[in-house]
Structure 1
Amino acid sequence: MGQTRDPHNLEELIDDIEAIDSPSGRIRFDDVLDATGQRSFGPLLLIAGLITLIPVISGIPGVPTLMALFTLLVCVQLLLGRRTFWLPRWLRERNIEDSKVHKGLRWMRRPARFTDKFLHHRLAVMTGKTGRRLTAVACVLIALVMPPMEFIPFSASLAGAALSLFGLSLMARDGLLALLGFVATFAALLLVFPYVI
């Protein structure tokens, strides 16, 4: 499947994922990456964030940890200056029932439409080269604390919100969302810190 454009807001991302053809009844992570643009940092972060944020998907044991590994791999490669992202085959081949994916997307549709109304190009420094690197560092920190979040009720949703804010900020070039992402990152770290020391 080829994608000629990268999504620029939540509804476009949801549309791209909903359009995935899954004859086997299961959607591979690689299918999602292919549909939404494997070379773009913003959509990749947003995918990890939404998967971690949507209760019907993030409630599956091991999913937050997988998304943490995915986030870590992508962010480290960005910090190393790679222009395309490599992911191991076993991670790309992970799959989930398409009914659960579509149920989660339906759950996200109304909040996505509401959120997209507020996206604007602003605070460009937060989504430029330096901003992207700071975002990558923040996401590495989030990824490192996501595995223990599986045992702390609702904490993974906070990590998912931070990743989603960062991803959406880069897609829409909205620096205000990046600032909110840093706030959510700080809150997530504060929440998990007592459990990991």
Structure 2
Amino acid sequence: MPMKETQDATNLTELIHTMERMERENAQVSVDDVVHAVGRRSFGPLLLLAGLITLAPIIGDIPGMPTLMAVLVLLTSSQLLVGRETFWLPKWLLKRSLSRQKFDKALHYMQKPAKWVDGLLGVRLAWMTGYIGIRVTAFACLLVALAMPPMEFIPFSANGAGLALTLFGLGLVARDGLMLALGFLLTGVTFTVVVMSLI
């Protein structure tokens, strides 16, 4: 049976609302809390989440956060490619956390742009979000994840990777093949910039 790639959330605003409804008993928000909220079978939302965290100034600027998100994307992408239906993540990754205050502030920061982004989404080139398209996307995300750790030392390149992951996540969540196409294009541009910076 193919892995389920869609959750109740069909756009960015709905994903943010899903995270806002998380339990608020603790002062910290762990990776496990977020993964539990979006679902362990949800490749699109997890990609979108990793991209947004990498992009968000409040969270993404925390040292090591892009690398942490790269590990999350690397593990989920590779497991999707080998056919797993539920993602396994190590305890050390699930236990990583940040303050509830920073998490809530980041969600609030993303609400207005989310409404604008959702207005751009539509079911287009839906064949790109099918079985083969999802796995091609997973392979591209795996390459992005492998490149993200050194990107922390190249100005703005991690932002390009975060935006590419966000586009991939949006494309899968909304079944918008155009967003996937833009993600592939941005991935190519980002890799070109990184290679040129290293030469």
**Long gaps (5+) in structure 2:** 1-6
Aligned partner (choices 100, 103, 109) of residue 102 of structure 2 = 100
Q: Shift of the alpha carbon at 1:122?
A: 1.3
- Specify the alignment match of 1:8 in structure 2: 10
Give the letter aligned to residue 82 of structure 1. R
For the Cα contact (< 8 Å) 1:142–1:188, is it kept in 2?
Answer: no
Q: Shift of the alpha carbon at 1:23?
A: 2.1
| Identity fraction in percent | 54
The normalised TM-score by structure 1 is: 0.94
Aligned partner (choices 79, 101, 109) of residue 77 of structure 1 = 79
Q: Shift of the alpha carbon at 1:96?
A: 0.4
The normalised TM-score by structure 2 is: 0.93
Map 1:30-179 to 2 at 5 A: 30-179=32-181
Give the letter aligned to residue 145 of structure 1. A
Q: Shift of the alpha carbon at 1:17?
A: 1.0
Q: Shift of the alpha carbon at 1:195?
A: 4.2
Q: Shift of the alpha carbon at 1:48?
A: 0.7
For the Cα contact (< 8 Å) 1:6–1:37, is it kept in 2?
Answer: no
Whole-angstrom CA distance in 2 between matches of 1:191 and 1:22: 41
Whole-angstrom CA distance in 1 between matches of 2:78 and 2:8: 21
**Long gaps (5+) in structure 1:** none
Note the aligned Cα RMSD (angstroms).
1.2
Whole-angstrom CA distance in 1 between matches of 2:142 and 2:86: 18
Whole-angstrom CA distance in 1 between matches of 2:12 and 2:198: 33
Q: Deviations over 1:137-178 (max 9, x none)?
A: 110111011001111122111111100110111111000000
- Specify the alignment match of 2:3 in structure 1: none
Give the letter aligned to residue 13 of structure 1. L
Q: Shift of the alpha carbon at 1:40?
A: 1.1
Give the letter aligned to residue 114 of structure 1. W
Q: What SS does the corresponding residue of 1:96 show, helix, strand or coil?
A: strand
Q: Deviations over 1:60-81 (max 9, x none)?
A: 0110001111100000001101
- Specify the alignment match of 1:180 in structure 2: 182
Which moved further from structure 2: 151-160 or 74-83?
Answer: 151-160
Q: Shift of the alpha carbon at 1:194?
A: 3.1
